[in-house]
Amino acid sequence: MQTGLPTVFVLFLICILGGPEAAPPRQCENGWISFYGKCYYFSRTPENFRSALHNCYNLGCRLLEIESKGEELWIDLQNRLLGYNYGVWLGFSDIIKEGQFLALSDRKRPRYVNWTQGAPNNGHGGTEHCAMYWIARKGWNDERCSIRLNYVCTK
């Protein structure tokens, strides 16, 4: 006997019904998805952090900066539906001061965070300076900026 609803179904309901922070739908360009009053572009190919930033900038937007649990749940669902394997880049880095992750859009600390247990830890010999959403652990991790991940642009 099942005691709860499957995670995907719950996420589906959140996406369809919205929540207390749901905003009116926004008209987005072709190839973009509207959610919570923002437009999202999901990459087709993985890139390193610098290329992901550059690609979003060229599209007139910024790299994803998750601002709430509801947005994070929706991003997780989209990642799974798109078949992303590892995760997506987030627009946060601690390159200016080790351990202090700041949003690249405004150099402020994020209002919402969801680091996985033990993260950020600056692993791989002290070379992890870029934030990513880790699908398998449903949370954030610091990672080497040189690895290739999918990315999400927002506006």
Residue 6: its pLDDT value, please?
56
Question: In this structure, is residue 38 part of a structural domain?
Answer: no
Look at residue 130 and tell me if it is in a domain. yes
Question: Does some domain include residue 7?
Answer: no
Q: Is position 100 within any domain?
A: yes
User: Nearest to residue 118, comparing CAs of 96, 95, 103, 134?
Assistant: 134
Separation between Cα atoms, residue 49 and residue 32, nearest integer Å: 20
User: Which pLDDT score is estimated for 1?
Assistant: 44
Q: How many other β-carbons are positioned within 10 Å of the β-carbon of residue 37?
A: 11
* 154: exposed, middle or buried (Cβ count in 10 Å: 0-12, 13-18, 19+): buried
pTM across the whole model = 0.84
> Tokens 């509801």 label which residue?
70
Average pLDDT per 10 consecutive residues for the chain, totaling 155 residues:
49 47 74 96 98 98 98 98 96 96 97 97 94 98 98 98
Range of the structural domain that residue 141 is part of = 43-154
Q: Which token pair is 90?
A: 């987030």
Predicted confidence at residue 45, as pLDDT, reads 97
Q: Could you tell me the CATH number of the domain that includes residue 96?
A: 3.10.100.10
